[in-house]
């Protein structure tokens, strides 16, 4: 007795239509033909052979326009292959596999069309919104700017999220070495590569990246040294407002150049950077969270873990409990410090700092003696390690003089005023106290920053607790107001909303 499947197979077939793909007589599946099988085994009505559809991806495809799935994966559509008919046929097929293939195919096509949109802007000027600082200390103005395409060894990045750092405010107020205006500030951000210039091979359109205010060329003595991250080519230069390749700005308004800031200028929907100043990261990492790792958090974390290197069970003092200082405290907690003493003039920060590992707090205003003396009395001669994160020259001196003689190490992180001078008695050095400075927590941007992101992905580093506010790009000046009031830790600026 014939099985139900066989009986169904022997039913009289319906008339064939020349407009629909059908398998050749030698291949007759039990159920209605799926276009996937038809594409592999048969042809069109009248004996026309259908083009072969290899499994995805396949390097054998050579014809047709190139698309970018999600902006990264290459696919070539076959010339003469009816992609729409194939997708519809699969999607409407009663078989689960056919339906799944149809859904997947439409996803591929959608990714391709989105990729084509990116390809359409490659090599062309992009008009977008940017927050321009026309003069020192004045509110930023949202303007339409023109962003030129990237040149050799440059990339153009679509910024999705950015954050305000004290360094932006410092130079916006023209406290830096040489005021440069009009300018687009911003250097702490996350985005996606839109296009790349000649010679760029490490990243491609669609890659998720964190812009970094310093770079890593991977060729100079500093980059090749395991002890330094001070790249000769891409070291931070706050005075330079142009690209290093040709000495020109990639931003303009009505033909007038708008200057860059520390090679990043992330207060713009699109920006151009040297490829050495972007760190390619895990695309699964949420950019609205990990964007803060491109500057402040990594700086504080690395200052403690990479530079101060507190032994397990040691005592650490953190001067300044802003975002960088809290990250330094987090580093001390991760390192296993038994006492983490927060020092700040703002008592409202103390309770928040407990979340980051601080065990004790000192407000210099509460004492009639130098804070370094207070700390020495609290710790039987001085703390084992101190990390200064304010940029205040007095705090820098206090952080150094509060460490224990013989083995104490002080690390300076904050950026001082251009005219500031560090003064201490030479005996503090002769008594074997060590003073160190750090730059970006001694992290090499392209090599090490992806690993910091992975710490977050593995839940070993909590980033969410640093983020206290969020504003749309149109309200970017609110972020400046919050920082001026000392409210919150980090404010995320959403570029698209």
Global pTM value: 0.75
In the numeric block, which tokens belong to residue 233?
Answer: 């080519």
Q: Do the beta carbons of residue 289 and residue 464 sit within 8 Å?
A: yes
What does DSSP assign to residue 276? G
- DSSP of 372-404: HHHHHHHTTS-BSEEEE-S--HHHHHHHHHTBP
Q: What does the alpha-carbon distance between residue 479 and residue 461 come to, in Å, rounded to a whole number? A: 24
Residues of the chain with CATH 3.90.180.10: 126-295+467-494
114-127 tens-digit pLDDT: 455 556 899 999 99
Q: Locate 3 and state its tokens.
A: 């099985």
Q: Catalytic positions, please?
A: 165-167, 187-188, 217, 220, 223, 231, 235, 295, 490
Which two tokens mark 374? Answer: 């207070």
Nearest-CA neighbor of 79 among 57, 101, 52? 52
Q: Where in the chain is the domain with CATH 3.40.50.720?
A: 297-439
Instruction: Tell me the pLDDT of the chain (497 aa) as tens digits.
Output: 444 444 444 444 544 444 444 444 444 444 444 443 334 334 434 344 444 433 334 333 333 333 333 333 333 333 344 444 445 455 455 555 555 555 555 555 545 544 555 568 999 999 999 999 999 999 999 999 999 999 999 999 999 999 999 889 989 998 766 789 999 999 999 999 999 999 999 999 999 999 999 999 999 999 999 999 999 999 999 999 999 999 999 999 999 999 999 999 999 999 999 999 999 999 999 999 999 999 999 999 999 999 999 999 999 999 999 899 999 999 999 999 999 999 999 998 999 999 999 999 999 999 999 999 999 999 999 999 999 999 999 999 999 999 999 999 999 999 888 789 999 999 999 999 999 999 999 999 999 999 999 999 999 999 999 999 999 999 999 999 999 988 889 999 999 86
Q: Which overall architecture, per CATH, does domain 126-295+467-494 show?
A: Alpha-Beta Complex (3.90)
Cα-based distances in Å from 355 to 2, 327, 349, 398: 73, 11, 11, 25
Domain 297-439 CATH superfamily: NAD(P)-binding Rossmann-like Domain (3.40.50.720)
Question: Comparing C-alpha atoms, which of 8, 22, 271 is closest to residue 150?
Answer: 271
DSSP 82-110: -HHHHHHHHHHSSSHHHHHHHHHHHHHHH
**What is the tens place of the pLDDT at every residue in 230-267?**
999 999 999 999 999 999 999 999 999 999 999 999 99
**DSSP-assigned letters across all residues of 419-477:** T------THHHHTT-EEEE-SGGG--HHHHHHHHHHHHHTTSS--GGGEEEEEEGGGHH
Which residue carries 């251009």 as its tokens? Answer: 418
CB 387 within 8 A of CB 318: yes
Residue 256: strand, helix, or coil: strand
Give the HSE-up count for residue 480: Cα atoms under 13 Å, Cβ half-sphere.
22
Cα-Cα end-to-end distance for the chain: 67
């Amino acid at each position: 007795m014939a099985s139900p499947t066989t009986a169904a197979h022997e039913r009289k077939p319906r008339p064939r239509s020349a407009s629909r793909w059908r398998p050749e007589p030698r291949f007759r599946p039990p159920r209605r033909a799926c276009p996937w099988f038809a594409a592999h085994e048969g042809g069109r009505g009248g004996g026309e052979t259908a083009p072969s559809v290899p499994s995805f991806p396949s390097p054998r495809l050579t014809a047709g326009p190139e698309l970018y799935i999600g902006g990264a994966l290459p696919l070539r559509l076959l010339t003469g292959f009816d992609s729409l008919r194939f997708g519809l046929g699969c999607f409407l097929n009663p078989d689960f596999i056919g339906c799944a293939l149809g859904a997947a195919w439409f996803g591929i096509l959608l990714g391709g069309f989105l990729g084509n949109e990116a390809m359409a802007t490659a090599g062309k000027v992009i008009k977008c919104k940017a927050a321009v600082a026309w003069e020192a200390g004045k509110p930023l103005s949202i303007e339409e700017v023109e962003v030129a395409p990237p040149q050799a060894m440059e990339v153009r990045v679509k910024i999705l999220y950015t954050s305000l750092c004290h360094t932006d405010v410092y130079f916006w107020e023209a406290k830096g070495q040489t005021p440069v205006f009009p300018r687009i500030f911003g250097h702490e951000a996350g985005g996606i590569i839109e296009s790349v210039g000649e010679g760029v091979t490490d990243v491609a359109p669609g890659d998720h990246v964190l812009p970094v205010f310093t770079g890593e060329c991977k060729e100079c003595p500093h980059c090749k040294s395991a002890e330094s991250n001070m790249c000769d080519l891409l070291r931070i230069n706050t005075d330079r407002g142009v690209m290093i390749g040709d000495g020109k700005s990639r931003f303009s308004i009505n033909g007038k150049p708008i200057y860059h800031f520390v090679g990043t200028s992330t207060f713009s929907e699109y920006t151009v950077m040297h490829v050495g100043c972007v760190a390619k990261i895990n695309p699964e990492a949420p950019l609205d969270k990990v964007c803060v790792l491109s500057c402040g958090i990594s700086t504080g974390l690395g200052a403690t873990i990479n530079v101060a290197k507190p032994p397990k069970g040691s005592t650490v003092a953190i001067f300044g409990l802003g975002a960088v200082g809290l990250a330094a405290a987090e580093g001390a907690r991760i390192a296993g410090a038994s006492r983490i003493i927060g020092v700040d003039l703002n008592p409202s920060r103390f309770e928040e700092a407990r979340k980051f590992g601080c065990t004790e707090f000192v407000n210099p205003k509460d004492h009639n003696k130098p804070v370094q003396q207070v700390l020495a009395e609290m710790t039987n001669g001085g703390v084992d390690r101190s990390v200064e994160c304010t940029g205040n020259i007095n705090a820098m001196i206090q952080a150094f003089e509060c460490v224990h003689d013989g083995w104490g190490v002080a690390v300076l992180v904050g950026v001082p005023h251009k005219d500031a001078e560090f003064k201490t008695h030479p005996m503090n050095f002769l008594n074997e106290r060590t003073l160190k400075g750090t730059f970006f927590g001694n992290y090499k941007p392209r090599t090490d920053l992806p690993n910091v992101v992975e710490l977050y992905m593995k839940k070993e580093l909590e980033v969410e607790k640093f983020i206290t506010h969020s504003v749309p790009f149109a309200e970017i000046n609110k972020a400046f107001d919050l920082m001026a009031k000392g409210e919150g830790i980090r404010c995320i600026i959403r570029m698209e909303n």
